[in-house]
Homo-oligomer: A and B are copies of this chain.
Amino acid sequence: MRVGIVGATGYGGAELLRILHTHPYFEITALYTSSQQGRNIHEHYPHLTGIIPLTLEEINPIKMAKDTDVVFLAVPTGVASQLAPELLSAGCMVIDLTGDFRLKNTEDYEFWYKREAAPKEWIQKAVYSIPELNNASIKGSQFISNPGCYPTATLLGLAPLAKAKMLKEGSVIIDAKSGVSGAGQTVSLGNIYSELNENFKIYKVNQHQHIPEIEQMLKELGYVSPVTFQTHLVPMTRGIMTTIYGSVEEKITEDELWKLYYEFYIDKPFVRVREMGVFPATKEVAASNYCDIGISFDERTGRATIVSVIDNLMKGAAGQAVQNANLLFGFEETAGLHFSPIYP
């Protein structure tokens, strides 16, 4: 399958290149850019010298439809809302890594993203897919909306309890922490090394645009209240941990809670429910597509604390996009994603 990538000079794009370079069924045949046409990708990313010998091309939907079997959009949020419809109309298959088609309710998008939403008819066509939580096969779809990094970690952490209707409404709090690469190659004072190194920050308090994405999916799973969701920046490059708090409706033991999770994910190759009493650290999934989950229940407070970790650029972005692409074309879900985490 011939793959084209729009936005290959961002970190999400770079990660797609790393994965697809050794994928058994996909071949990267074209890279597209709105600003660096004519440059070789290794001029922007010297680490790709001799690995991906492609030149950046201009965006031309008609030509892209001819030259590729599927296009990944690893562009800034806001760019996909126009570009995706053009590509789809030209006949491309599209996997969109931005937030532009995740929210079914355009008012939510406009409130949280502070920008104009994509056209409703195209939003309808987008299939939002966390593969482990999909009800139906996505095979044969034309347009996938790839989930956000925080929602992926959060929803995988909450799904078993939410689906079992065991969460007390109004009790869910997600305290999320991310490495800095989530901000991409943004050139701003807030993103420079000396400001972030040896520093732990909270940001977008009560205002993160992933809140409605989490709530939309939680509703489908069976939990309907608004959630409290706060995000923090960790002085490291990769990794997300969400520490998730929720009160449990019924009497339950830690052992029963663990079994609920263990069985929920027993046939999911990328979710590893860790042993009772063991909690994952972000490095234990670094550069891999795993989501590792740790479970605890505190009888003193009746509250479960669920810990989930992912690599924000892999299961949180490019890795899950490739996982979705595999499913889309009917390949085995894990094709090209057998990376062991990098440790240390």
User: Distance in Å from the Cβ of A287 to the closest Cβ of chain B?
Assistant: 5
Q: Is the CB of A235 within 8 A of B237?
A: no
Q: A241-B202, A241-B232 are in contact. Are A341 and B47 (CB under 8 A)?
A: yes
Please name all residues of chain B whose beta carbon is closer than 8 Å to the beta carbon of A307 when the two chains form the complex.
202, 205
Chain B residues closer than 8 Å to A177, beta-carbon distance: 177, 200, 232
Tell me the minimal C-beta distance from A315 to chain B in angstroms. 14
Residue A46, interface by CB 8 Å: yes
Residue of B nearest to A225 (CB): B301
Neighbouring B residues of A85 by C-beta, 8 Å:
none
Residues of B within 8 A of A228 (CB): 245, 298, 301, 303, 305
Could you give, for residues 210-243 of chain A, a 1 whenever the CB lies within 8 Å of some chain B CB and a 0 otherwise?
A: 0000000000000001111010101111110101
A192 within 8 A of B: yes
Pair B241/A200 contact, Cβ less than 8 Å: yes
Contact partner of A205 (CB less than 8 A), chosen from B287, B296, B300, is: B296
Contact, CB under 8 Å: B243 / A11: no
Which of A88-96, A115-123, A133-141, A271-279 makes up part of the contact surface? A271-279
Nearest-Cβ distance from residue A340 to partner chain B, whole angstroms: 4
> Does A201 lie at the interface of the complex (its beta carbon under 8 Å from any beta carbon of B)?
yes
Interface window among A98-106, A182-190, A255-263: A182-190
> Which of A278-332 touch B at CB < 8 Å?
278-288, 292, 294, 296, 298, 300-301, 303, 305, 307, 309
Which of the 9-residue segments A15-23, A64-72, A76-84, A157-165 touches chain B?
A15-23
Closest to A21 in B: B340
Chain A, 57-68, contact with B by CB distance < 8 Å: what is the 0/1 string? 000000000000
Looking at the assembled complex, report how far the CB atom of A300 sits from the nearest CB atom of chain B, in whole angstroms: 5
- Cβ of A249 under 8 Å from chain B: no
Q: A14 an interface residue at 8 Å Cβ cutoff?
A: yes
Count this chain's copies in the assembly: 4
- Closest Cβ–Cβ distance, residue A216 to chain B (whole Å): 15
> With A241-B200, A296-B206 given, is the CB distance from A22 to B187 under 8 Å?
no
Inside 8 A of A232's CB, which chain B residues have their CB?
Answer: 177, 241, 243
Residues from chain B with Cβ under 8 Å of A237 in the complex: 193-194, 197-198, 344
Chain B residues with CB under 8 Å of A197's CB are 180, 193, 197, 235-237, 344
A contact set with B: CB distance below 8 Å: 11, 14, 17-18, 21-22, 45-52, 170, 173, 175, 177, 179-181, 183, 185-189, 191-203, 205-206, 225-228, 230, 232, 234-239, 241, 243, 245, 272, 274, 278-288, 292, 294, 296, 298, 300-301, 303, 305, 307, 309, 338-344
Given contacts A179-B200, A200-B241, A287-B342, 16 further A-B contacts (CB under 8 A): A47-B283, A47-B284, A49-B292, A180-B194, A180-B197, A181-B194, A183-B194, A197-B197, A198-B198, A198-B286, A201-B281, A202-B241, A205-B294, A228-B303, A234-B234, A287-B287
Closest 9 pairs (CB-CB, A-B): A199-B283, A175-B175, A194-B344, A47-B341, A47-B284, A201-B281, A18-B340, A193-B196, A200-B282
